[in-house]
């Protein structure tokens, strides 16, 4: 079937506006045939519309397989599944449509051999329902799906409101700190190439490179603290600083990751640039990494007027301003600089002592005031917006039930639980809305199976395996005001346990 059928007749050339005007003329007492000639509408059509009072445009061609009410239900089901990170692919949708028609005995022209709806139906469905479209999803871990919950965000918002009410921080005194990784092996950008060629390559000097950590801090007013580089080395070399950002600091660790000692060094670097005091403190928002939550870090922050809040685990994709607006453009710009370096230097290999220079070029291009301001605004931190996220933003709300196999908690959707209660207490037999055309295939059908029955809405259940047999009793991390007094007692106890453990080892 042609996607763009060429019109070959003059049937139904009239519009909804002209039909409405014709009906108004008839109501004012003008004759049927006179009005039909004036507006170019067939007499029989005008007579039928006069009786029914309907003025919408005529629909040519065969009737749709599903009624408008059923397509609306299917559209809502697609949106619900997408919000719950179980998106429906075009192939899945065609299969669901076929199963729905089969279980409800709906007449159709679908492909019985492949048991899927035809592609023309899919194109027509998307055209009739512009609320849904084909999108490329972003890979999201299960921990992030569960971690970004209404309870976790409310706890963070409460902590933020507490410190903002007490200190009344301005945008220039609110900072977000986070780490990101870069490598000497860049990710190639899109290129122009011959159409039809299946495989296109782009040159990288190595197949795999070591990760270099860059610690960044950005304020809600759009200012930036010079970065800190952590190289995967045992000893530092002065050549690693060549061409780096002005004011940046450099260090190394065995694996290239930040640790407790390096975080203290970064705090000293941050204090030198942000210049906090007990009379004029600054707010520092970080993640829950263990290297950030030590007794030494607590004492340093309390002594130098740094109020630190941690965001809940696995929520950085929604609550971390640097993740929202800065790190993505920064890495794209860095990859472009690496491409230009390789192609402009006769395919010279990128070494570790070239990283700071390439990063500096990308950093100067990307570090704008706009990104800082928009990042904090998108996270609802500054200006503080406690209602930034609605219930639709939380894929699996915090309704919890007890697993039948273990005492572990299972998180399920509030919407699923509520819908199950309704469906169990009421007969959910649905009769389709009869269309304008009396030959509508669904005019007498009784629908006993819904789309959510053919494609069930998911709920989270505990993973079977060793973790069920021997559960790990680890305290769940959450957002805290790190520099609050109760935290010191917890950190001191943790320090004593660590020292005792080290004594036993020796």
CA dihedral (433, 434, 440, 443) positive or negative: positive
For residue 417, pLDDT over 70 is answered with no
pLDDT at residue 415 in the model: 43
Verify cis geometry, omega within 30 degrees of 0, for the bond prior to 456: no
Mean pLDDT of 454-478: 59
Strands (DSSP E) along 40-130, which ranges?
none
Domain ranges for the chain: 16-52, 63-142+416-459, 150-189+204-391
pLDDT at residue 89 in the model: 94
CA distance 487 to 498: 17
pTM of the model: 0.71
For residue 206, pLDDT over 80 is answered with no
pLDDT at residue 209 in the model: 64
For residue 393, pLDDT over 90 is answered with no
For residue 2, pLDDT over 60 is answered with no
Which residue from 125, 135, 130, 146 is spatially nearest to 88, judged by alpha carbons?
A: 135
The residue whose two tokens read 């719950």 is 84
Mean per-residue pLDDT of the chain: 82
Mean pLDDT of 54-58: 71
Mean pLDDT of 32-56: 85
For residue 347, pLDDT over 80 is answered with no
Q: Which residue has the higher pLDDT, 81 or 200?
A: 81
For residue 150, pLDDT over 80 is answered with yes
CATH architecture classification, 150-189+204-391: 2-Layer Sandwich (3.30)
Comparing 132-146, 161-175, 196-210, 469-483, which segment has the lowest mean pLDDT? 196-210
Mean pLDDT of 447-471: 63
CA distance 426 to 448: 13
pLDDT at residue 196 in the model: 75
Could you give the dihedral angle defined by the CA atoms of residues 407, 409, 414 and 417, in that order, rounded to the nearest 10 degrees?
Answer: -20
Residue range 467-498, pLDDT digits in tens:
444 445 456 688 989 998 888 888 888 888 88
Residue range 361-374, pLDDT digits in tens:
999 999 999 999 99
Report whether 284 contacts 449 (CB < 8 A). Answer: no
For residue 418, pLDDT over 50 is answered with no
pLDDT at residue 471 in the model: 46
């Amino acid at each position: 079937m042609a996607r763009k059928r060429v019109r070959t007749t003059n049937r139904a050339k009239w519009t909804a506006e002209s039909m409405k005007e014709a009906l108004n003329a008839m109501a004012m007492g003008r004759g049927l045939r006179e009005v039909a000639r004036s507006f170019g509408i067939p007499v029989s059509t005008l007579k039928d519309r006069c009786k029914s009072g309907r003025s919408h445009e005529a629909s040519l061609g065969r009737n749709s397989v599903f009624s408008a009410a059923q397509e609306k239900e299917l559209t809502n089901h697609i949106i619900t599944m997408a919000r719950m990170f179980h998106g429906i692919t075009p192939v899945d949708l065609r299969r669901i449509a076929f199963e729905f028609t089969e279980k409800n005995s709906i007449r159709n022209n679908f492909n019985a051999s492949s048991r899927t709806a035809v592609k023309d139906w899919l194109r027509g469905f998307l055209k009739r329902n512009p609320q849904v479209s084909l999108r490329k999803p972003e890979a999201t871990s299960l921990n992030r799906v569960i971690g970004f919950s209404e309870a976790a965000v409310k706890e963070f918002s409460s902590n933020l409101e507490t410190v903002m009410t007490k200190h009344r921080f301005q945008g220039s005194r609110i900072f977000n700190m986070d780490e990101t990784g870069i490598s000497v092996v860049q990710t190639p950008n899109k290129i122009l190439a011959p159409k039809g060629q299946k495989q296109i390559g782009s040159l990288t000097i190595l197949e795999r490179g070591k990760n270099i950590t860059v610690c960044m801090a950005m304020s809600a007013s759009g200012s930036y603290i010079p970065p800190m580089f952590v190289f995967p080395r045992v000893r530092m070399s002065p050549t690693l600083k060549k061409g780096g950002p002005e004011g940046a600091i450099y260090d190394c660790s065995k694996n290239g990751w930040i640790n407790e000692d390096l975080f203290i060094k970064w705090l000293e670097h941050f204090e030198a640039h942000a210049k906090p005091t007990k009379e004029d403190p600054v707010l520092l928002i970080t993640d829950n990494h263990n290297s950030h939550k030590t007794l030494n870090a607590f004492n340093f922050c309390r002594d130098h007027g740094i109020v630190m809040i941690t965001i809940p685990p696995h929520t950085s994709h929604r609550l971390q301003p640097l993740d929202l607006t800065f790190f993505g453009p920064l890495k794209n710009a860095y990859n472009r600089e690496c491409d230009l370096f390789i192609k402009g230097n006769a395919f010279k290999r990128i070494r570790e002592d070239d990283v700071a220079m390439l990063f500096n070029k990308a950093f100067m291009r990307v570090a704008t005031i706009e990104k800082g301001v928009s990042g904090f605004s998108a996270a609802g931190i500054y200006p503080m917006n406690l209602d930034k996220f609605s219930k639709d933003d939380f894929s699996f709300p915090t309704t919890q039930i007890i697993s039948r196999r273990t005492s572990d908690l299972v998180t399920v959707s509030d919407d699923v639980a509520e819908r199950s209660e309704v469906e169990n207490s009421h007969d959910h037999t649905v009769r389709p809305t009869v269309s304008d055309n009396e030959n509508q295939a669904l005019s007498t059908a009784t629908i006993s199976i819904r789309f959510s029955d053919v494609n069930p809405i998911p709920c989270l259940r505990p993973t079977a395996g060793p973790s069920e047999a021997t559960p790990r009793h680890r305290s769940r991390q959450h957002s805290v005001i790190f520099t609050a007094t109760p935290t010191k007692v917890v950190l001191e106890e943790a320090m004593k346990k660590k020292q005792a453990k080290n004594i036993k080892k020796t």
